[in-house]
Amino acid sequence: MAEHDIIVIGASSGGVAALQKVVAELPSDLSAAVLIVLHMDPRSPGLLAGILEHAGRLKCAMAVDGEPIPFGEVRVARPDHHIMVAPDRLVVTQGPKENRSRPSIDILFRSASREFGGRVIGVVLTGNLDDGTAGLWSIKRAGGIAVVQDPKDAEYPDMPTNALHGVEVDHCVPLDGMGALLAKLVEVPAMSEKIPPDEARDVPGVVYVCPDCNGPLREVKIGNEKLVRFQCLVGHAFSMMTLLEGHAEAREAALWTAVVSLEHEAMFADRAAQHAITQNDAEAAAALNAEAVKARAQAQVVRGLLQVNPTGTVADRRR
């Protein structure tokens, strides 16, 4: 019977320090491949692999498209690239974002559960929002093991907390000792039978708008009634929380666009009024000055809306 020889780990805010602690505890003779997604700025120089190699005893590198699955080593997702698992190799791609992230934790987790079933150990660490929850559920359904950092131990507890709410987790532990736990779990015999993934079921009703491409967004459920997902035709996918965040950012961008448009309208009305005066058209100049005043007043109203900052909103919780 096979071991649990695929470990997939997802982290976001606070993740560098957390990953260092986990990797530091992994033994040099670990037989499993360790694949890591950390949410990061797409312009990041990609230093995580070097940081983790310095922290532990395993070889660490950025994932390369098409390379064999690196058993006994660590691979990290490249900035602005998804990492996925094929039957005998890694796949690195710049496909559509999921949960407004590229790389996406859910994409890695789902691909691992699809290809390796019960041989997978999924780990969710510190981070905001809920990337990783749906993917961890897929790992559990396929017979794999679900491990979550104790939210009390996490610098940013959202991701671990949401995973605990959505998935029947096998182990909820602090960072201290997590790497040693993973090393022990690798040696536990794994279920060899692969369970086919659940088909996504459309939920009839309102068609929403994708905040990334403005295309139609359908609501889908995949097995677990707790987990609601939204996906557009392009392939952008969201949880409820990340969809709310996306629309909040889109709303802010639209309001700032309105401010710019109104300010430009006022400036042009001023210029047109000056031209009307040179043409001895006092009536037109007065009307244009009134339009400028109106546009500036409207811009001030919109600015006021943007300056309202209620605490505790999803959009305020950045990665």
Active site members: 12, 39, 131
Distance of CA 316 to the CA centre of its chain: 15
**Cα–Cα distance for residue pair 318/314, rounded to 1 Å:** 8
**Residue whose C-alpha is closest to residue 97's, from 254, 253, 246:** 246
**Residue whose C-alpha is closest to residue 245's, from 106, 101, 54, 149:** 101
**Residue whose C-alpha is closest to residue 190's, from 170, 174, 164:** 170
- Would you state the structure tokens that stand for residue 140, as one six-digit string? 């559990």
Using CA atoms in the order 121, 127, 131, 134, what is the torsion angle rounded to 10 degrees? Answer: 50
197: exposed, middle or buried (C-beta count within 10 Å: 0-12, 13-18, 19+)?
Answer: middle
- Would you state the structure tokens that stand for residue 124, as one six-digit string? 């969710």
- Would you state the structure tokens that stand for residue 170, as one six-digit string? 């096998």
Q: Which residue has the tokens 């967004």?
A: 217
Cβ atoms < 10 Å from Cβ of 166: 19
Cβ atoms < 10 Å from Cβ of 131: 32
